[in-house]
Structure 1
């Protein structure tokens, strides 16, 4: 199954790439791109086509590819709707092909994940195996796009928080190999970066690579904060049409002044690796000044700044795509800028601009995605060797450490973490995330009313209940308190109190309440720990819903832990 999933995910990635390049080629043949005013209208056309698809076919908002997969793993037992198989294959090429400044990796992974999920559902496999197949699909898609099987496996482990055991390693290997072979079969030996390392790592450059690590860390923090800030700017727009219009025009303006922001940006990276920064920058309004290296540096730094802006604006306007490849573009520009500044300060230093371009990509991937190992192995595999392994480790480690200290969660995981739906390598937290509150809520409790007499309570509730706790609710089912069997034990056989005392006399507040809509399972477990209670009431929409018992909670936790652990 892992071989089949890898093949299908790889096939989806190949189709995605080819359709996007076909759209780009069609536009290049039909439109004279030297006239930069045309950049202004193309993103709006692409976003409008995506809008039509979402409104009339999908009929629900687009989701962020990787985040939606992580949510399905944690809260939906790895179940993904069949429509998600082909939705990314349609919306992403329309977005990127018409100039949206996003990547294709996320949509390729999303499509592959949906394929594996629905294949698992068809064959009635359990949730644990289905989750592993989704990770296999991501490995197959990444291996197919980048032709880097090792980085694909590491990405699945780092981003999907997969436990790397022999049980999971072999399927990941098979899926990754299958994805790579699929890419070779359909695309031949075509590589993303036609580049061979000629400048070896020199120990004297170590300080500069440390500097690059710090620079990429701050760029990663900027990238992440800018992403959420721009999304918040678009939230007041209630209509998708306004988002499309404002976002499309903003992207068009940016493309007019900075053409390399068009589409994914692999051509830009290749030109930088070739040492041809004029070709990388394309035709801009500042062409007559590019003889000055500092103008070139400023323009490249502008790409570093505005790639995050253009990418997020594309998402906010309703586009579909991924953040992985824009991260690489931004990193390549920053790495090249740092190298050019070092070489042109007049202090006698000389570093390899191509090497810094590559390692800048690794630094941004490590910082933005919180995936340092993926960054190291991806760049090493893309360049066909491990000559730069030491500087890759230096820059990626520094970038990750600084960024992780400043921002706890990546773009993929922040909203999931806030909702308590994030899987991590922490087994305790992961098991609690996988648990559902409905699985542990018990409703076989006899409720009583505050005005009931002691006799009515004993005859109508206590004598007919197998539980030793009784929720006290009013006529609207709002919880007023609880009565324990211990609270009335000494009065139960005093018949003189049967008609003279009421439930209100014996009730008291619960030590803590569980709120159905907002409390995560981590919060529920913490409330039991802090209160020392054996049963806590659950409030749903302001009304009494049931109880959670500590014994049932711990039993469910143990079962889930056994099922989750290989």
Structure 2
């Protein structure tokens, strides 16, 4: 518990450092430069920032910076909760430069990964087991989010939902302590200042329920759109082997977008705050191509639609060009623009007898997209409730978040954070059985004390070289290149093993059989291996790598390893 409080304090400091460095860079750059010459500098600054980041990664770090939540999830599922020391400082400089110069990404994920790496390495120093190490990573995540948003309850739920931690009394107390420690650290530096400056003024009306249902449906569609565009653009940038090509393409595309739509510049929390106040002059830009037309509400609606559609494009370009950041802030930005836009359309078309609350729809829109894109409906509900310092919006938040999550999860089973990991079988979930199978590595359960038989061996050679020397009742049959050709069971030999007249006549190839299934070392995960055992009812299955025999996996060995990992990861 003491260590979890320390981890929370460290996570709070990390969040403060990353945020302050970003604000310092923004304060230096923006000033009169952007105010008087925005057309040039909104285009140039993001490219300059991305070039700085590329220089640091290529010539200072000399290794890739992985700042996303999937990095931490992969460490939990495949590296026993161990993150490299490099991750503890890699994002502290590169993320603020990316966002400070106008990169359209968030700082939450880099802060979470930094805090998680520090907590992971602290737990290693203290010789903690895997379960405690994973819990401390969750404490770091909760502390970081608590510090950034000053929302301690939502931060705990975020750690449980995103990192699939077990909700038990043993895990809850450390998470609470980390969250409290982090938020106290933030209060020390910032006081009561919060990232979103808004207090609820409009009450929820039951007659507005149909519109919140509609908002939930539209949120799910926007969530699917976000995920599809995000992964397609990531795949597009992977085609370019040269970092400089990615920088030029992504940087130029981002420059064009921020030049045309300045609200896409940076994280966008100032835009969200101005939208909540319905201050379109500051939210959409007072000195840009569209500033002269903001009195027309349809122009405002068109701009909001453009921002909602293009934010994911700007985020993907930033990351594709080599920038360091996350998607948390872009999701909130896109949700606020979407919700605000829908409220304006409802009011302008006079669909409802009274005008709906534009600020409430802006807030609930953010929750809808969080629930859909991140598959974190509870985090979405409690975060917005805590940010607004009240629970008057609980009903519309639950309606919209539930519908958005329900519809999105039917079409896309995994969140943006987990989709890639799930496709590789590297995802930990709240399902304990599935989680343990994910943590099991095939290399840990392969047995190699089986004596291989050459396919041209005679019965006599089988007896002398195999049966007499082996303690096993099964033999792999291989060719000259050690490729697996079949298996031979001791039960197949018993009827003929004392027929000496067959010793020089009968060969392995005549009595061997095909294995009931073969395990592919490179491609079969534990879920697939368990399926093969279940369908064949076999006790031993051979393992091959590119066709070459590697060993056997036995059901008893697999169950023993399963039990050991279950004990190791259970608090």
TM range (shorter): over 0.9
**What displacement does 1:564 show?**
2.7
Report what 1:163 is aligned to: 166
Report what 2:10 is aligned to: 8
Query: What SS is found at the alignment partner of 2:454?
Result: coil
RMSD over aligned Cα atoms: 1.1
The answer to whether structure 1 residue 37 and structure 2 residue 40 are counterparts is: yes
Report what 1:207 is aligned to: 210
Report what 2:79 is aligned to: 76
Distance 1:244 1:84 in 2: 22
C-alpha deviations, 1:210-250, integer Å up to 9, x for none? 11111111111111111011112222211010000110010
Query: What SS is found at the alignment partner of 1:501?
Result: coil
C-alpha deviations, 1:408-460, integer Å up to 9, x for none? 11110011001100001111111100111111100000111011111111111
Given candidates 347, 350, 353, the residue that maps to 1:343 is 347
**What displacement does 1:29 show?**
3.4
C-alpha deviations, 1:231-281, integer Å up to 9, x for none? 122222110100001100100100111101010001000101111012100
- Of 27-36 and 276-285, more deviation after overlay is shown by 27-36
Report what 2:27 is aligned to: 25
Q: Which runs of 5+ in 2 are unaligned?
A: none
Report what 2:139 is aligned to: 136
**What displacement does 1:561 show?**
2.1
Given candidates 172, 188, 192, the residue that maps to 1:189 is 192
Distance 1:410 1:280 in 2: 29
Distance 2:106 2:341 in 1: 22
Q: Does structure 2 retain, via aligned residues, the 8 Å contact 1:420–1:520?
A: yes
The answer to whether structure 1 residue 331 and structure 2 residue 335 are counterparts is: yes
TM-score, normalized by length of structure 1? 0.98
Q: Does structure 2 retain, via aligned residues, the 8 Å contact 1:264–1:325?
A: yes
Q: Does structure 1 retain, via aligned residues, the 8 Å contact 2:129–2:568?
A: no
Given candidates 376, 381, 388, the residue that maps to 1:376 is 381
Query: What SS is found at the alignment partner of 2:476?
Result: strand
Distance 1:507 1:320 in 2: 56
Aligned residues: 566
Given candidates 250, 274, 279, the residue that maps to 2:277 is 274
C-alpha deviations, 1:97-122, integer Å up to 9, x for none? 01100000000100000000000111
C-alpha deviations, 1:128-158, integer Å up to 9, x for none? 1100000000000000000100000000110
Which aligned pairs between 1:225-374 and structure 2 lie closer than 5 A? Answer: 225-282=228-285, 283-347=287-351, 348-374=353-379
Report what 1:174 is aligned to: 177
Q: Does structure 2 retain, via aligned residues, the 8 Å contact 1:328–1:361?
A: yes
Q: Does structure 1 retain, via aligned residues, the 8 Å contact 2:66–2:87?
A: no
Distance 1:255 1:178 in 2: 37
**What displacement does 1:59 show?**
2.6
Report what 1:561 is aligned to: 566
TM-score, normalized by length of structure 2? 0.98
Distance 1:165 1:444 in 2: 42
Query: What SS is found at the alignment partner of 2:494?
Result: helix
Report what 2:492 is aligned to: 487
Query: What SS is found at the alignment partner of 1:101?
Result: coil
Query: What SS is found at the alignment partner of 1:547?
Result: strand
Given candidates 381, 385, 388, the residue that maps to 2:390 is 385
The answer to whether structure 1 residue 501 and structure 2 residue 503 are counterparts is: no
Which aligned pairs between 1:106-125 and structure 2 lie closer than 5 A? Answer: 106-125=109-128
Query: What SS is found at the alignment partner of 1:33?
Result: helix
Given candidates 452, 456, 471, the residue that maps to 1:451 is 456
Which aligned pairs between 1:93-112 and structure 2 lie closer than 5 A? Answer: 93-112=96-115
Distance 1:50 1:492 in 2: 70
- Of 191-200 and 339-348, more deviation after overlay is shown by 339-348
Q: Does structure 2 retain, via aligned residues, the 8 Å contact 1:62–1:318?
A: no
The answer to whether structure 1 residue 419 and structure 2 residue 438 are counterparts is: no
Distance 2:71 2:460 in 1: 54
Distance 2:535 2:246 in 1: 46
The answer to whether structure 1 residue 521 and structure 2 residue 521 are counterparts is: no
Query: What SS is found at the alignment partner of 2:217?
Result: helix
Q: Does structure 2 retain, via aligned residues, the 8 Å contact 1:8–1:112?
A: yes
Distance 1:214 1:331 in 2: 13
Q: 1:425 to 1:32 in 2, by over 3 A?
A: closer
Query: What SS is found at the alignment partner of 1:31?
Result: helix
